[in-house]
Chains A and B, each alone.
Chain A
Amino acid sequence: MAVSVVALARSRNLFAVVVLGGVYSFLMATVLVALDAVDVAMTEASVGAGMSTILLLAALHLCKGEEAKPVRRPWTSLAVAVTTGATLVYGTLGLPGFSDPGAPIHTHVVPRYLNDVVKETGVPNAVTAVLASYRGYDTLGETTVVFTAGAGVIALLRRRRRDAKQEASQ
Protein backbone atom coordinates (compact mmCIF):
# COMPACT_ATOMS: atom_id res chain seq x y z
CA MET A 1 0.00 0.00 0.00
CA ALA A 2 2.87 2.33 0.74
CA VAL A 3 4.23 1.69 -2.75
CA SER A 4 0.93 2.58 -4.40
CA VAL A 5 0.62 5.75 -2.34
CA VAL A 6 4.11 6.94 -3.21
CA ALA A 7 3.50 6.16 -6.89
CA LEU A 8 0.26 8.13 -6.67
CA ALA A 9 2.02 11.12 -5.17
CA ARG A 10 4.66 11.16 -7.84
CA SER A 11 2.48 10.46 -10.85
CA ARG A 12 1.56 13.22 -13.28
CA ASN A 13 -1.05 11.46 -15.39
CA LEU A 14 -4.43 11.96 -13.75
CA PHE A 15 -5.89 8.76 -15.12
CA ALA A 16 -3.04 6.84 -13.51
CA VAL A 17 -3.77 8.67 -10.27
CA VAL A 18 -7.38 7.51 -10.31
CA VAL A 19 -6.47 3.91 -11.10
CA LEU A 20 -3.81 3.88 -8.39
CA GLY A 21 -6.44 5.18 -6.00
CA GLY A 22 -8.64 2.22 -6.89
CA VAL A 23 -5.73 -0.18 -6.37
CA TYR A 24 -5.06 1.39 -2.99
CA SER A 25 -8.71 1.00 -1.99
CA PHE A 26 -8.70 -2.68 -2.90
CA LEU A 27 -5.52 -3.26 -0.92
CA MET A 28 -7.07 -1.47 2.01
CA ALA A 29 -10.14 -3.74 1.76
CA THR A 30 -7.85 -6.80 1.85
CA VAL A 31 -6.09 -5.48 4.94
CA LEU A 32 -9.45 -4.91 6.56
CA VAL A 33 -10.49 -8.51 5.94
CA ALA A 34 -7.24 -9.62 7.55
CA LEU A 35 -8.26 -7.49 10.55
CA ASP A 36 -11.62 -9.34 10.78
CA ALA A 37 -13.61 -6.27 9.76
CA VAL A 38 -15.72 -7.94 7.09
CA ASP A 39 -18.56 -5.42 6.90
CA VAL A 40 -16.14 -2.55 6.65
CA ALA A 41 -14.09 -4.38 4.02
CA MET A 42 -17.17 -4.95 1.86
CA THR A 43 -18.15 -1.31 2.17
CA GLU A 44 -14.64 -0.07 1.46
CA ALA A 45 -14.31 -2.32 -1.57
CA SER A 46 -17.65 -1.33 -3.06
CA VAL A 47 -17.63 2.33 -2.10
CA GLY A 48 -13.95 3.18 -2.16
CA ALA A 49 -12.76 1.11 -5.06
CA GLY A 50 -15.99 1.09 -7.03
CA MET A 51 -17.95 4.26 -6.47
CA SER A 52 -15.05 6.65 -5.91
CA THR A 53 -13.29 5.46 -9.04
CA ILE A 54 -16.46 5.90 -11.09
CA LEU A 55 -17.02 9.41 -9.75
CA LEU A 56 -13.39 10.41 -10.28
CA LEU A 57 -13.42 9.08 -13.83
CA ALA A 58 -16.67 10.90 -14.58
CA ALA A 59 -15.22 14.15 -13.23
CA LEU A 60 -11.99 13.56 -15.13
CA HIS A 61 -13.95 13.13 -18.34
CA LEU A 62 -15.74 16.40 -17.66
CA CYS A 63 -12.52 18.24 -16.89
CA LYS A 64 -11.05 16.96 -20.12
CA GLY A 65 -8.20 15.15 -18.39
CA GLU A 66 -5.68 17.88 -17.78
CA GLU A 67 -2.39 16.14 -17.28
CA ALA A 68 0.29 18.68 -16.58
CA LYS A 69 0.90 19.07 -12.88
CA PRO A 70 3.92 21.33 -12.43
CA VAL A 71 6.14 20.43 -9.53
CA ARG A 72 7.26 23.34 -7.46
CA ARG A 73 9.84 22.85 -4.78
CA PRO A 74 7.90 20.77 -2.26
CA TRP A 75 10.45 20.83 0.52
CA THR A 76 8.44 23.02 2.90
CA SER A 77 5.39 20.81 2.53
CA LEU A 78 7.51 17.72 3.00
CA ALA A 79 8.98 19.20 6.17
CA VAL A 80 5.51 20.06 7.48
CA ALA A 81 4.23 16.59 6.72
CA VAL A 82 7.20 14.85 8.31
CA THR A 83 7.00 17.02 11.43
CA THR A 84 3.31 16.23 11.76
CA GLY A 85 4.11 12.57 11.29
CA ALA A 86 6.80 12.60 13.96
CA THR A 87 4.44 14.28 16.41
CA LEU A 88 1.76 11.72 15.66
CA VAL A 89 4.15 8.81 16.12
CA TYR A 90 5.20 10.26 19.45
CA GLY A 91 1.52 10.49 20.37
CA THR A 92 0.68 6.95 19.38
CA LEU A 93 3.42 5.51 21.54
CA GLY A 94 1.10 6.04 24.47
CA LEU A 95 -1.74 4.07 22.89
CA PRO A 96 -2.32 0.38 23.72
CA GLY A 97 -0.35 -2.12 21.70
CA PHE A 98 -1.65 -4.38 18.98
CA SER A 99 -4.30 -6.88 20.10
CA ASP A 100 -4.34 -5.95 23.75
CA PRO A 101 -7.47 -7.40 25.40
CA GLY A 102 -7.26 -5.00 28.32
CA ALA A 103 -7.51 -1.91 26.17
CA PRO A 104 -10.34 0.48 27.05
CA ILE A 105 -11.99 -0.15 23.71
CA HIS A 106 -12.87 -3.67 24.79
CA THR A 107 -14.09 -3.03 28.29
CA HIS A 108 -16.82 -0.45 28.49
CA VAL A 109 -19.90 -1.06 26.38
CA VAL A 110 -18.82 -3.75 23.93
CA PRO A 111 -19.10 -6.83 26.19
CA ARG A 112 -22.73 -5.95 26.69
CA TYR A 113 -23.23 -5.62 22.93
CA LEU A 114 -21.53 -8.92 22.16
CA ASN A 115 -23.27 -10.86 24.91
CA ASP A 116 -26.78 -9.52 24.53
CA VAL A 117 -27.13 -8.88 20.83
CA VAL A 118 -28.84 -12.17 19.96
CA LYS A 119 -30.99 -12.07 23.07
CA GLU A 120 -32.20 -8.52 22.57
CA THR A 121 -32.40 -8.15 18.81
CA GLY A 122 -32.32 -11.63 17.32
CA VAL A 123 -29.74 -10.55 14.75
CA PRO A 124 -26.41 -12.43 14.83
CA ASN A 125 -24.49 -9.79 12.91
CA ALA A 126 -23.34 -7.52 15.72
CA VAL A 127 -22.32 -4.73 13.36
CA THR A 128 -25.75 -4.52 11.72
CA ALA A 129 -27.48 -4.69 15.07
CA VAL A 130 -25.37 -1.93 16.58
CA LEU A 131 -25.68 0.17 13.40
CA ALA A 132 -29.43 -0.10 13.04
CA SER A 133 -30.66 -0.58 16.55
CA TYR A 134 -28.27 0.38 19.32
CA ARG A 135 -26.92 3.38 17.41
CA GLY A 136 -29.87 4.00 15.15
CA TYR A 137 -29.75 7.79 15.48
CA ASP A 138 -26.26 7.92 14.01
CA THR A 139 -27.41 5.96 10.98
CA LEU A 140 -30.36 8.31 10.57
CA GLY A 141 -27.93 11.22 10.56
CA GLU A 142 -25.71 9.47 8.07
CA THR A 143 -28.60 8.77 5.70
CA THR A 144 -29.48 12.44 5.91
CA VAL A 145 -25.88 13.37 5.08
CA VAL A 146 -25.94 11.14 2.00
CA PHE A 147 -29.24 12.68 0.96
CA THR A 148 -27.81 16.17 1.46
CA ALA A 149 -24.80 15.31 -0.66
CA GLY A 150 -27.11 14.18 -3.45
CA ALA A 151 -29.20 17.31 -3.13
CA GLY A 152 -26.04 19.42 -3.14
CA VAL A 153 -24.76 17.82 -6.32
CA ILE A 154 -28.14 18.39 -7.93
CA ALA A 155 -28.06 22.03 -6.87
CA LEU A 156 -24.52 22.53 -8.15
CA LEU A 157 -24.88 20.85 -11.49
CA ARG A 158 -28.47 21.43 -12.44
CA ARG A 159 -28.60 24.92 -13.79
CA ARG A 160 -26.78 24.32 -17.04
CA ARG A 161 -29.16 21.53 -17.98
CA ARG A 162 -32.11 23.88 -17.80
CA ASP A 163 -30.27 26.41 -19.97
CA ALA A 164 -29.42 23.72 -22.47
CA LYS A 165 -33.05 22.63 -22.56
CA GLN A 166 -34.15 26.21 -23.16
CA GLU A 167 -31.66 26.53 -25.99
CA ALA A 168 -32.83 23.26 -27.49
CA SER A 169 -36.45 24.29 -27.42
CA GLN A 170 -35.85 27.62 -29.15
Chain B
Amino acid sequence: MRAFSHFSYFVTVFLMIAGLFIVIARGNLIKKLVGLGIFQTSVYLLYIVPGKLIGGTAPIIDPAFKLYSNPLPHVLILTAIVVGVATLALGLALVVRIREAYGTIEEDDILARDEATPGAPGE
Protein backbone atom coordinates (compact mmCIF):
# COMPACT_ATOMS: atom_id res chain seq x y z
CA MET B 1 0.00 0.00 0.00
CA ARG B 2 2.90 2.26 0.74
CA ALA B 3 4.14 2.00 -2.81
CA PHE B 4 0.75 2.80 -4.26
CA SER B 5 0.20 5.99 -2.33
CA HIS B 6 3.73 7.16 -3.08
CA PHE B 7 3.60 6.32 -6.78
CA SER B 8 3.56 9.98 -7.76
CA TYR B 9 6.86 10.50 -5.97
CA PHE B 10 8.42 7.66 -7.95
CA VAL B 11 7.34 9.31 -11.19
CA THR B 12 8.75 12.62 -10.02
CA VAL B 13 12.07 11.06 -9.03
CA PHE B 14 12.29 9.20 -12.35
CA LEU B 15 11.82 12.43 -14.29
CA MET B 16 14.32 14.15 -12.03
CA ILE B 17 17.05 11.59 -12.60
CA ALA B 18 16.28 11.52 -16.33
CA GLY B 19 16.83 15.27 -16.48
CA LEU B 20 19.96 14.94 -14.33
CA PHE B 21 21.31 12.20 -16.56
CA ILE B 22 20.81 14.31 -19.67
CA VAL B 23 22.63 17.22 -18.07
CA ILE B 24 25.57 15.15 -16.90
CA ALA B 25 26.02 12.61 -19.64
CA ARG B 26 25.30 14.41 -22.90
CA GLY B 27 27.81 16.76 -24.37
CA ASN B 28 25.69 19.00 -26.55
CA LEU B 29 24.94 22.29 -24.82
CA ILE B 30 21.43 22.73 -26.17
CA LYS B 31 20.52 19.21 -25.12
CA LYS B 32 21.82 19.96 -21.65
CA LEU B 33 19.52 22.95 -21.44
CA VAL B 34 16.53 20.84 -22.45
CA GLY B 35 17.52 18.30 -19.79
CA LEU B 36 17.64 21.09 -17.24
CA GLY B 37 14.12 22.04 -18.26
CA ILE B 38 12.96 18.47 -17.71
CA PHE B 39 14.54 18.55 -14.25
CA GLN B 40 12.66 21.75 -13.47
CA THR B 41 9.30 20.37 -14.56
CA SER B 42 9.80 17.33 -12.34
CA VAL B 43 10.21 19.69 -9.41
CA TYR B 44 6.90 21.34 -10.35
CA LEU B 45 5.26 17.93 -10.07
CA LEU B 46 6.92 17.40 -6.72
CA TYR B 47 5.29 20.53 -5.35
CA ILE B 48 1.85 20.29 -6.87
CA VAL B 49 1.03 16.63 -6.30
CA PRO B 50 0.74 16.86 -2.50
CA GLY B 51 -1.68 19.74 -2.90
CA LYS B 52 -4.24 17.73 -4.75
CA LEU B 53 -7.21 16.39 -2.81
CA ILE B 54 -9.27 13.67 -4.43
CA GLY B 55 -12.80 15.02 -4.87
CA GLY B 56 -11.62 18.60 -4.75
CA THR B 57 -11.55 21.07 -7.57
CA ALA B 58 -9.47 23.96 -8.86
CA PRO B 59 -8.89 26.68 -6.26
CA ILE B 60 -11.43 29.14 -7.63
CA ILE B 61 -13.89 29.89 -4.88
CA ASP B 62 -17.46 29.14 -5.90
CA PRO B 63 -20.55 28.50 -3.75
CA ALA B 64 -21.19 25.20 -5.52
CA PHE B 65 -17.96 23.53 -4.38
CA LYS B 66 -16.68 22.79 -0.92
CA LEU B 67 -13.30 21.14 -1.32
CA TYR B 68 -10.45 22.87 -3.13
CA SER B 69 -6.94 22.04 -4.13
CA ASN B 70 -4.25 23.83 -2.26
CA PRO B 71 -3.48 27.17 -3.99
CA LEU B 72 -0.17 27.80 -2.29
CA PRO B 73 2.04 25.49 -4.37
CA HIS B 74 0.33 26.78 -7.53
CA VAL B 75 1.57 30.26 -6.74
CA LEU B 76 5.13 29.12 -6.09
CA ILE B 77 5.25 27.03 -9.23
CA LEU B 78 3.84 29.83 -11.40
CA THR B 79 6.78 31.94 -10.34
CA ALA B 80 9.14 29.02 -10.88
CA ILE B 81 7.93 28.40 -14.43
CA VAL B 82 8.44 31.99 -15.51
CA VAL B 83 11.86 32.19 -13.85
CA GLY B 84 12.73 28.90 -15.57
CA VAL B 85 12.02 30.29 -19.01
CA ALA B 86 13.99 33.42 -18.16
CA THR B 87 17.05 31.35 -17.27
CA LEU B 88 16.54 29.24 -20.41
CA ALA B 89 16.62 32.41 -22.51
CA LEU B 90 19.82 33.59 -20.84
CA GLY B 91 21.39 30.16 -21.23
CA LEU B 92 20.52 30.10 -24.92
CA ALA B 93 22.02 33.56 -25.40
CA LEU B 94 25.22 32.25 -23.80
CA VAL B 95 25.17 29.20 -26.08
CA VAL B 96 24.85 31.44 -29.13
CA ARG B 97 27.85 33.47 -27.99
CA ILE B 98 29.85 30.33 -27.28
CA ARG B 99 29.05 29.09 -30.74
CA GLU B 100 30.34 32.31 -32.22
CA ALA B 101 33.50 32.27 -30.12
CA TYR B 102 34.41 28.58 -30.44
CA GLY B 103 32.59 27.48 -33.57
CA THR B 104 31.04 24.48 -31.87
CA ILE B 105 28.58 23.63 -29.13
CA GLU B 106 29.90 20.23 -28.15
CA GLU B 107 31.35 20.27 -24.68
CA ASP B 108 34.29 18.01 -25.52
CA ASP B 109 35.37 20.16 -28.45
CA ILE B 110 35.17 23.29 -26.35
CA LEU B 111 37.31 21.79 -23.60
CA ALA B 112 39.84 20.49 -26.11
CA ARG B 113 40.08 23.86 -27.75
CA ASP B 114 40.56 25.56 -24.41
CA GLU B 115 43.42 23.24 -23.52
CA ALA B 116 45.03 23.53 -26.92
CA THR B 117 45.21 27.32 -27.05
CA PRO B 118 45.97 28.81 -23.64
CA GLY B 119 44.65 32.32 -23.31
CA ALA B 120 41.49 33.98 -24.53
CA PRO B 121 39.50 32.17 -27.21
CA GLY B 122 39.59 33.78 -30.61
CA GLU B 123 36.65 35.95 -31.48
Contacts and interface: CB of A to CB of B under 8 A. Distances in A.
A17 to B, nearest CB: 6
B90 A149 contact: yes
Contact of B59 (A47, A82, A114, A150): A114
B92 A56 contact: yes
Interface residues of A, number: 88
B83 A52 contact: no
A93 B9 CA distance: 8
A98 B33 CA distance: 31
Interface of A: 1-2, 5-6, 8-9, 14, 17-18, 21, 24-25, 28, 31-32, 35-40, 43-44, 47-48, 51-52, 55-56, 58-60, 62-64, 66, 68-70, 72, 74, 77-78, 80-82, 84-85, 88-89, 92-93, 95-101, 103, 105-106, 109-110, 113-114, 117-118, 124-127, 130-131, 135, 138-139, 142, 145-146, 148-150, 152-153, 156-157, 160
29 contacts: A2-B18, A6-B18, A14-B31, A18-B34, A35-B48, A36-B58, A52-B37, A69-B31, A72-B25, A81-B20, A81-B25, A84-B20, A85-B17, A88-B17, A92-B9, A97-B6, A98-B8, A98-B49, A98-B52, A106-B70, A110-B71, A114-B59, A125-B60, A126-B68, A130-B72, A150-B89, A153-B89, A153-B90, A157-B96
